[in-house]
């Protein structure tokens, strides 16, 4: 058995090797296209933020804050955290850069790595990538529906089917606090039957009980009072309109009264997009989001509504890789440059640069010295033309252009190469 190398990626973190990077790029491109269509502008925030930002926004009784933050003290004494998610950072940037003075809503999107100290398992990483989309400064329910539509359009462009959209409303501060009391009183009477985590949640963050995956807890909360039955008039009307908009755009969804999400900043609409398993059940979560009308104020800004979504890039990539999907690995170049001899090698360097400046992709093997190896590679790559620069051509400032299909070749002045190649490519 071969010995493991001494140094490996930290547990739960992974290299994105070239074979996977093409998928990451493809997803980023699709996100960019969708963002452009819906007029989102790109933002990138730092990898680390003040710990207090996440304690306040995500909530101190959530799994992310209690168990999953990579936190550290800097030499200067600042207490920082590797960002576990993007919404709090975007909200911080919105306030810090006075974006409330811009025409509203402000639409921002980002694409980058995030960090959570989770138990590593399939499709759950400690460093993972997300694309996030945030709309700040608009409270209309049409935005909630549009955000769901936007993320579904990303999946549509990637040709995903078998998706399930789950939606719920967790109300606002007012109706939720009443509902929490009802829920606690229901759960208290069954406390001894809950798992030990949920007994703790019952005291600190009772809504989290609805998120528990333990069967015995699921049996209990499936009989619990539901938030949707206790929404205030404003939240009820908001949720009804979101569902009407989803019906209008014919996006099928499931109402999931137990969907609460693992972050405390949400208000009103919450949703997730899952893959459907072979048995038809929701499995892996590809994207999640919702409305967060209190977040900007909570972080010290003016009262500003917000709504957004983030999708997990590794999970999307692993879905893409299950199906035969064509992802072209390289620029399809139609030109190969082969060279022989030291003068030709030197002149080839200049020639490659000339072609690059003219936007003509060219494949070369300047590290190789024999023509045979180079020509056989040119054949394998299926290029249209092979430029051959031998010792004689290099001395005479000429170059051979071989048509790889017909086998015919001609000798041209090296100075005319760009013009000649452009002409030939146009014809072919
Ligand atoms: P989240 O549900 O925590 O929401 O994460 C969004 C997505 O990121 C998940 O649906 C999943 O695909 C992916 N993801 C999360 N954790 C991991 C992990 N450990 N490994 C691999 N993928 C993961 C948020 O982060 C919110 N900021 C979304 C949002 C934006 N809400 C409003 N605006």
Atom 17 in ligand 1: residue holding the nearest Cα = 124
Stated as kind and residue range, the H or E segment containing 113 is strand 106-115
CB 289 within 8 A of CB 151: yes
Q: Which residue has the tokens 């709504």?
A: 307
Asked whether 264 lines ligand 1 (CB < 6 A), one says no
- Which of 19, 13, 63 minimizes the C-alpha distance to 261? 63
Evaluate: CB of 144 within 6 angstroms of ligand 1.
no
Report pLDDT for 139.
97
134 lines ligand 1 (CB under 6 A): yes
Nearest CA to ligand 1 atom 8: 312
pLDDT at 279: 73
Q: Is 314 in the pocket of ligand 1 (CB under 6 A)?
A: yes
Give the Å distances, CA to CA, from 306 to 51, 115, 136, 404.
22, 23, 4, 58
Where is 181: in which H helix or E strand? helix 173-188
What DSSP assignment string belongs to 49-85?
EEHHHHHHHH-TTSHHHHH--EEEE-TTS-EEEE-S-
Q: Is the CB of 308 under 6 A from ligand 1?
A: yes
Residue 288, ligand 1, Cβ within 6 A: yes
CB-ligand 1 contact for 290 (6 Å cutoff): yes
Q: Show me where the domains of the chain are located.
A: 18-172+232-322, 335-427
List the structure tokens of 66: 């209690």
Between the alpha carbon of residue 281 and those of residues 162, 163, 165, 277, 428, the distances in Å are: 10, 10, 12, 5, 51
Contact 354 CB / ligand 1 (< 6 Å) = no
CA of 312 to the centre of ligand 1 (A): 6
User: How far is 149 from 155, CA to CA, in rounded Å?
Assistant: 10
Task: Give strand pairing partners of 267.
Answer: 291
pTM across the whole model: 0.89
Cα–Cα–Cα angle for 59, 273, 244, rounded to 5 degrees:
95
| Closest CA relative to residue 348, chosen from 389, 378, 297, 289 | 389
Nearest protein CA to atom 14 of ligand 1, as residue: 312
Q: Ligand 1 centroid vs 288 CA: distance in angstroms?
A: 6
**Which CATH superfamily groups domain 335-427?**
Anticodon-binding domain (3.40.50.800)
pLDDT in tens, the chain (428 residues): 578 899 999 999 999 999 999 999 999 999 999 999 999 999 999 999 999 999 999 988 888 998 999 999 999 999 999 999 999 999 999 999 999 999 999 999 999 999 999 998 889 999 999 999 999 999 999 999 999 999 999 999 999 988 999 999 999 999 999 999 999 999 999 999 999 989 988 888 899 899 888 899 999 989 999 999 999 999 999 999 999 999 999 999 999 999 999 899 999 999 999 988 777 666 889 999 999 999 999 999 999 999 999 999 999 999 999 876 666 655 578 999 999 999 999 999 999 999 999 999 999 999 999 999 999 999 998 999 999 999 999 999 999 999 999 999 999 999 999 999 999 888 87
Domain 18-172+232-322 in CATH 3.30.930.10? The answer is yes
Ligand 1 lined by 118 (C-beta under 6 Å): yes
Closest residue by Cα to residue 121 from 57, 213, 256, 28: 213
Instruction: Report the nearest atom of ligand 1 relative to the CA of 86.
Output: 27
Ligand 1, from 14, 84, 85: best to mutate by most atoms within 8 Å of Cβ? 85
- The DSSP code sequence of 348-377 is HHHHHHHHHHTT--EEE-TT---HHHHHHH
Q: Is 2 exposed, middle or buried (0-12, 13-18, 19+ CB in 10 A)?
A: exposed
Q: Ligand 1 in contact with 87 (CB < 6 A)?
A: yes
Q: What is the pLDDT of residue 171?
A: 97
Nearest CA to ligand 1 atom 2: 288
Query: Which tokens hold the place of 406?
Result: 């017909």
């Amino acid at each position: 058995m071969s010995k493991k190398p001494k140094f490996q990626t930290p547990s739960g973190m992974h290299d994105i090797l070239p074979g996977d990077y093409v998928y990451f790029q493809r997803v980023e491109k699709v996100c960019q296209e969708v963002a452009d269509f819906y007029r989102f502008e790109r933002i990138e925030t730092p990898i680390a933020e003040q710990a207090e930002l996440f304690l306040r926004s995500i909530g101190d009784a959530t799994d992310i804050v209690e168990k999953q933050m990579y936190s550290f003290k800097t030499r200067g004494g600042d207490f920082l955290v590797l960002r576990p998610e993007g919404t709090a950072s975007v909200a911080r940037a919105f306030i810090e850069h006075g974006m409330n003075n811009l025409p509203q809503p402000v639409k921002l999107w980002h694409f980058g790595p995030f960090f959570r100290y989770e138990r590593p398992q399939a499709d759950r990483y400690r460093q993972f990538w997300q694309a996030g989309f945030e709309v700040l400064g608009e409270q209309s329910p049409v935005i909630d529906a549009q955000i769901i539509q936007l993320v579904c359009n990303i999946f549509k462009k990637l040709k995903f089917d078998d998706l399930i959209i789950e939606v719920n409303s967790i109300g606002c501060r007012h109706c939720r606090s009443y509902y929490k009391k009802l829920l606690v009183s229901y759960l208290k009477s069954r406390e001894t039957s809950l798992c030990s985590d949920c007994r703790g949640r019952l005291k600190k963050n009772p809504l989290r009980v609805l998120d528990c995956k333990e069967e015995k807890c699921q049996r209990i909360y499936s009989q619990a009072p539901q938030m949707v039955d206790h929404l205030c008039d404003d939240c009820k009307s908001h949720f009804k309109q979101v569902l009407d908009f989803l019906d209008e755009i014919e996006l099928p969804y499931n109402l999931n009264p137990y969907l609460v999400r693992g972050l405390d900043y949400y208000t009103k609409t919450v949703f997730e997009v899952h893959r459907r398993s072979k048995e038809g059940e929701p499995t892996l979560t590809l994207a999640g989001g919702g409305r967060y009308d209190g977040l900007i104020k909570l972080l010290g800004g003016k009262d500003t509504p917000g709504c957004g979504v983030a999708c997990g890039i590794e999970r999307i990539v692993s879905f893409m890789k299950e199906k035969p999907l064509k992802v072209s690995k390289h620029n399809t170049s139609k030109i190969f440059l082969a060279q022989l001899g030291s003068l030709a090698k030197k002149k080839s360097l200049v020639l490659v640069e000339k072609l690059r400046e003219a936007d003509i992709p060219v494949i070369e093997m300047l590290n190789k010295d024999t023509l045979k190896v180079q020509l056989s590679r040119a054949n394998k790559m299926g290029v249209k033309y092979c430029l051959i620069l031998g010792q004689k051509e290099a001395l005479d400032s000429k170059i051979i252009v071989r048509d790889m299909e017909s086998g015919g070749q001609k000798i041209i002045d090296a100075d005319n190469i760009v013009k000649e190649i452009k002409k030939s490519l146009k014809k072919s």
